[in-house]
Amino acid sequence: MNSEVKQACVIGWPIEQSRSPLIHGHWLKTYGIAGRYDRVAVPPGEAAAFIHSLEARGLEGCNVTAPHKQAVFEAADWRDPSAEAVGAANTVWREGGKVCVANTDTYGFMTHLAQSAPGWDKRDAPVALFGAGGAARAIVYGFLDAGVERVRLINRTPERAEALVAHFGSRVESCAWSDRARGVSDAGVVVNTTTLGMIGNAPLDLDLSALDRDAIVADIVYVPLETPLLSGARARGHRTVDGLGMLLHQAVPGFARWFGVRPEVTQALRDILVADIERK
């Protein structure tokens, strides 16, 4: 391989489904960079060894998807505060002989929210967030960092929500799944971070009738692009925020580190991803 060609990849198990090569491939072409970005299947238990062999493999770094986000976080030499806050990493690069990691899901979600629903932070109202998994952690951190006073977690398994309350402290509270319609009634932003609404899964069954019309409804599921939650919210006149923008924006910091150009998330890039999602 030509050493002038900078290379990065995404690792996961399985990895065929990853859309990251579409995003980075588009940017490499757009900015005329002689680079490569590939999918690499890394079996469970082998991610730590992989990130410590980046240099030997001629890689600038990598993205990390399931099931390796925690293992890579633990194996890193240096962790950005974004990864420390979440306890998981999705972006890896080499710097000064060290393997460094960050979690760019927070950046991806918050950037897309600010662009799609400007002024979302003007209301002094709680955020109601469904789910308590890895993505929920990243997004709770984003809202707290943005100064939100109250984040209400609504999760099927209450112990997982309680674990996040214990991790993040008094600005985060939990609400029973059975009480979810009431749990969103005074919210300024409602976010789904569960897998409900994804193609093949049941929708998130949520009565929005008590929700203020000014409230914003976001879903991080992006297959389908418009989940039943988002279409129901749109029909009631709410501003909605889809999951695809988060996916596109979370890729920006990694590309900038590996290839030296801070790329833009454009409509042309979005169109490529939309076409791919609609094809499958």
> Residue numbers of the site for ligand NAP (CB under 6 A)?
105, 108, 131-136, 155-157, 160, 193-196, 198, 220-222, 243, 246-247, 250
Show the tokens assigned to 32: 């005329």
Tally Cβ neighbours within 10 Å of residue 207.
12
- Pick from 260, 237, 253: nearest CA to 63: 253
Catalytic residue among 6, 29, 69, 122: 69
CA distance 160 to 155: 7
Half-sphere exposure (CA, 13 Å, Cβ side) for 119? Answer: 3
**Which CB sits closer to ligand NAP, 28 or 206?**
206
Contacts of 256 (CB under 8 A, 6+ apart): 262, 263
Q: Is 280 a catalytic residue?
A: no
Minimum separation from the CB atom of position 191 to ligand NAP (A): 10
**Which CB sits closer to ligand NAP, 6 or 183?**
183
Contacts of 82 (CB under 8 A, 6+ apart): 102, 103, 104, 106, 107, 141
Minimum separation from the CB atom of position 106 to ligand NAP (A): 10
Minimum separation from the CB atom of position 222 to ligand NAP (A): 5
CA distance 176 to 6: 49
Minimum separation from the CB atom of position 87 to ligand NAP (A): 11
DSSP state of 263: -
Cβ atoms of 275 and 225 within 8 Å: the answer is no
- Pick from 62, 68, 61, 63: nearest CA to 45: 68
Contacts of 166 (CB under 8 A, 6+ apart): none
Per the rule left: phi > 0, alpha: psi between -120 and 50, beta: everything else, 200 is left
Minimum separation from the CB atom of position 161 to ligand NAP (A): 8
**Which CB sits closer to ligand NAP, 215 or 220?**
220
**Which CB sits closer to ligand NAP, 14 or 260?**
14
**DSSP 3-state of 95:** strand
**Which CB sits closer to ligand NAP, 247 or 265?**
247
Which residues are annotated as catalytic?
69
